[in-house]
Amino acid sequence: MKNKRILYGLLSSLILLAVMFYIFLPPLNPTSLGFWIYLWIGCIPLMIACLAGAGVNKVKVGSVTKTDKIVLGIFSGSIAVVIVIMLASSSIFHAQEYGNRIDLVEAPFEDIPEVDFTKTAIIDRDSTLVLGDRTLGQLPELISQFDVSEIYSQISYQDTIVRVTPLDYNGMIKYFTNRSEGIPAYIIVNATNGQSDLVKLEDLGLQGIRYTENAMFFEDRDRRMRFAYPTEIFYETNFEIDEEGVPYWITSTVKYKGINQKPTITGVIAMNAIDGSMTKYEVGEIPEWIDRVYASDLVIEQVNQAGAYVHGFWNSIFGQRDVFQTTEGYNYIVLNDDIWLYTGITSANADESNIGFVLINQRTQEAKKIMSPGAEEFSAMSSAQGKVQHLGYTSTFPLLINVSGRPTYLVSLKDNAGLVKMYAMIDCADYQRVVTVNQEQGLEALKREYQATMNIVDTDDLKKELITISELSVVNMDGYTYYFIKDEDGDIYRANITVSQTILPFMKVDEQYQVVTRPQDDILEIIEIEQAE
């Protein structure tokens, strides 16, 4: 009777484990805490069977058999062992190893190339969601059957930067009615100009997407990967397309130190979303078209540990000497056709200024630390919003860009509907220096306005000439005084009061001046002026 009780408990546990594996897809890897939780829950029927004998026979619990005691001992002992291993492999005892998870190489700001607006992701994720929904809404035959997934992975694609996401089934019934054809399209949103396109796979000569996160049975994306790689520990899955537009699911794999400590990327699994074929790439072998290997939260964790454990674990808590940490937000920039995560770093006190920035390549984990003190990102956002407070616009999280060698924040200013209405540049060193333009004027106009305000000179556009004033007027704009001049040839010039406070206020019609100018929209911006002899 006792042996049958144990046998029934064991069979029940095996059935429960099989059902749980099919539903929850835990890795069969003892270094994962998820594996042990899966095992402990699955063994509950066996534990109940071991404890049930005493109650059935109406004898004391102490009368459980030796087999019962062994099983219960193994169960409770495994919990204790896991806790000990997790503690022993934690950063308390291995602070230096945790602090060296990422190699932060100090680099000059000049390593960030001059801003190229064709590769600058000014459209943020929230705006992308709106644009993607509008694109699908233009095709009623699809909107009744499919939803737009909110994945929107940011990738480098055909020499620009885009966000890409698949369509997904609109419920279980729509899955069964459409699964034979698959999902017919995905959406690309150009992150530099907001152009949104629905790409039909049949136009690329491809069949529909069959493997997705909301498909069922063995067409479920994660289930197909788990059954193919039962021992791999999956970290993050992104949707990407190769240079020919073929859709893939890219899943990063990790290994742990001890149990569930210090995750380290080991490679990726690339699954063709159409036919489900998979290829596993180890780190160092990953194709260049794959952009998202190192997850954002993982590299942020690595940078924070590098900053926290610079002088050991206890210093990170008490003395905090030389300790730094990342700011709360982050964004992405493109360098050499790779996606780099950008975030500021600040002191342990998390004040309103940055001590520098970090850039991490999400394909290779190459990391740069740029020590360039400046305003913390949220302070810059508040400053940009304050510039247009009468309009009630909200700022996106800043992008770090290089404008003529000067660290600069670039943001979009959006209305209540989430539409971009203006652009702004904020000087990193002095976040109160803000320049804005309307969205219709474009980013190049913003750059020129910013250069003029900051007295940044691009020598290629400079022209030195002698002018004679025929008309003169003074205008106040955005808190600055500007002098507008028309010369005898009808050309129009503009000069900010900061160019010369000793000459500009005293200019007169018919006087001659030697000026240095550069083109600014349809006028000439004066950056130097002196009275002609």
pLDDT tens digits for 302-357? 999 999 999 999 999 888 888 999 998 899 988 888 999 999 999 877 567 888 99
- Work out the mean pLDDT of the chain and round it to a whole number: 90
Q: Model pTM?
A: 0.84
The most distant pair of C-alpha atoms in the chain lies apart, rounded to whole Å, by 117
Residue 271: the pLDDT is 98
What are φ and ψ of residue 156, in 5° steps? -95, 125
Residue 58: the pLDDT is 44
Residue 478: the pLDDT is 61
**267 neighbors 286 (Cβ within 8 angstroms):** yes
Q: Does residue 263 sit in helix, strand or coil?
A: strand
> Which of the residue ranges 94-103, 296-305, 415-424 would you say has the lowest mean pLDDT?
415-424
> Which of the residue ranges 81-85, 108-112, 243-247, 297-301 would you say has the lowest mean pLDDT?
108-112
pLDDT tens digits for 5-33? 788 889 999 999 999 999 999 999 999 99
Residue 125 burial by Cβ neighbours in a 10 Å radius (0-12, 13-18, 19+):
middle
pLDDT tens digits for 202-227? 999 999 999 999 899 999 999 999 99
pLDDT at 59 over 60: no
Helix, strand, coil in percent for the chain, rounding step 5: 35, 35, 35
pLDDT tens digits for 180-199? 899 999 999 999 888 999 99
CA 114 – CA 384 distance, rounded (Å):
22
How many percent of the chain have pLDDT more than 70? 95
Residue 348: the pLDDT is 79
CA 286 – CA 293 distance, rounded (Å):
9
Residue 61: the pLDDT is 45
CA 437 – CA 385 distance, rounded (Å):
13
Q: Does residue 324 sit in helix, strand or coil?
A: strand
Residue 414: the pLDDT is 94
> Which of the residue ranges 61-70, 138-147, 391-400, 419-428 would you say has the lowest mean pLDDT?
61-70
Residue 67: the pLDDT is 76
What are φ and ψ of residue 180, in 5° steps? -65, -30
pLDDT at 434 over 80: yes
Task: Compute the average pLDDT of residues 380-407.
Answer: 93
Q: How far is CA 390 from CA 24, 394, 416, 431, 453, in A?
A: 51, 11, 13, 19, 22
CA 181 – CA 247 distance, rounded (Å):
16
227 or 57, which is more confident: 227
pLDDT tens digits for 473-515? 999 876 678 899 999 989 999 988 878 888 999 999 999 999 9
Task: Compute the average pLDDT of residues 167-189.
Answer: 91
pLDDT at 457 over 80: no
